[in-house]
Amino acid sequence: MDNWLLSLITFSLLIILLISGAPIAFVLMFLATLGTLYTWGLKGLLVLFNTAYGEGTNFILLAVPLFVLMANVLKFSGLADELYEIVYRWMGRLRGGLAMGTVAICAVFAAMAGISSAATISMGLIALPSMLSRGYDKNVALGCINAGGALGILIPPSIIMILYSNMTDVSVGQMFMGGIIPGVLLTVLFIAYIGLRCYFQKELAPPGREHYTLAQKIAVLKGVVLPLLLVALVLGVMYLGICTPTEAAGIGAGGAFLAAGVHRRLTWPRVRQAILETMHLSTMIFWIIIGANAFTHFLAYAGIQDSMQKAILSMDVSPWVILITIQLLYFFLGMFLDPAGILLLTTPIFVPIVTHLGFDPLWFGILFVVNMEMAYITPPFGFNLFILKGVVPEEITMNDIYNSVWPFVAMQAVGLLICMLWPELTTWLPSFVAQ
């Protein structure tokens, strides 16, 4: 069968099965199995086994469940309560201060855990009721939590970055360092947007009436010590070359348990729940990894991947047109698919293309992660939208959550554009540290 006909059949089946609502991991594994049997017959099934065994025993990927465990423990550790108390006392009297502080707390959580759900759930339970009770507009309150939570995949450590590194020649450490400045940039953009909008539309976020003395404000700053120590511990041991990313993830998980113990939140029901949630999410991630790798191996061995790459590279257009088209495709896919699935499905196709066009794969990887930040909060299937819906009061509808995110999606698009126009924002810090 001609490669283009095989490609048409393969991707048509992929789209039909995904639209049907079937889990992406099993869709990819099913298509990989059919394609392998068609291409090589029964003997080709050994490829599927080797793929599953190779990914399941990959030492780098062991960091995934450890960072997930760290995030799940942090959700009940008490750190979010202490951080929010700091924001409440220092920024509560500013217009929009609680919303701006919520974004800052999410950024701190992002630096402690590699997923977005920890900050989204914590702030949904702690910050949202506080803001709504003080007259904050629900779009501002919901939007800042959604957007702030999405920072979890950009500010290191990041599970998405680990997966990208596993599929490319870019080191995990370089990806982590490359995400710091864009992460800070997006945090500043979110805070600036909230501050400016609340300044001109004063009814959106009235200032708090509570007054605290300087001594009372300083007293709560002790709550920032443990989070900073945890961030320094996880990232420090990795960047100093003391530990691998996987070992640093183990240290981070241990630090999260220690933080929960210090706050007397370390009870068996909470630990059991954290372990079960870690098993559930990690299993889902690894099935996606295995399915996507099996599918991309089939595309490569059948020649479909090479045919697609040659067709794209033969186009008589500027490399920037191809790059922008890829980013637009990522944005569209992010509305419907899980970011991990998008990464594992498209990276083997697009990274060789952008590398051949002369672009830095590290820079491209950070652009991808910023784009997936948008995917986490873009309707109709943004991951954070449904996480937040699970913890908000019943009177807040899904439409309320959808409507709240669009200004922040626009800020993310601005951040993506800035990172595209000035690649040094992503490449300078990794190069500086490497020296």
Q: Which residue has the higher pLDDT, 373 or 309?
A: 373
Distance CA 286, CA 234 (A): 23
Contacts (Cβ under 8 Å, ≥6 apart) of 171? 165
User: Nearest CA to 176 among 361, 362, 327, 343?
Assistant: 362
User: Nearest CA to 35 among 9, 16, 55?
Assistant: 9
Tokens 């609340």 locate to 198
Q: What are the extents of the domains in the chain? A: 62-287+301-434
Tokens, residue 435: 């020296």
Give the tens place of pLDDT for each residue, 101-151: 999 989 988 888 777 777 888 888 888 888 998 899 999 999 999 999 999
Tokens, residue 324: 């922008």
Helix (H) or strand (E) holding 76: none
The CA angle 181-186-189, to the nearest 5 degrees, is 125
Distance CA 260, CA 271 (A): 10
Tokens, residue 348: 């083997």
Residue 281's pLDDT is 83
What is the pLDDT averaged over residues 311-337?
A: 90
Helix, strand, coil percentages for the chain (3-state, nearest 5): 80, 0, 20
Give the tens place of pLDDT for each residue, 151-199: 988 998 888 999 899 888 888 889 999 999 999 999 999 999 999 999 9
Whole-Å CA distances, 84 to 73, 105, 214, 228, 392: 18, 7, 17, 15, 17
Measured in whole angstroms, the distance separating CA 301 from the mean position of its chain's CA atoms is 31
Share of the chain above pLDDT 70, in %: 99
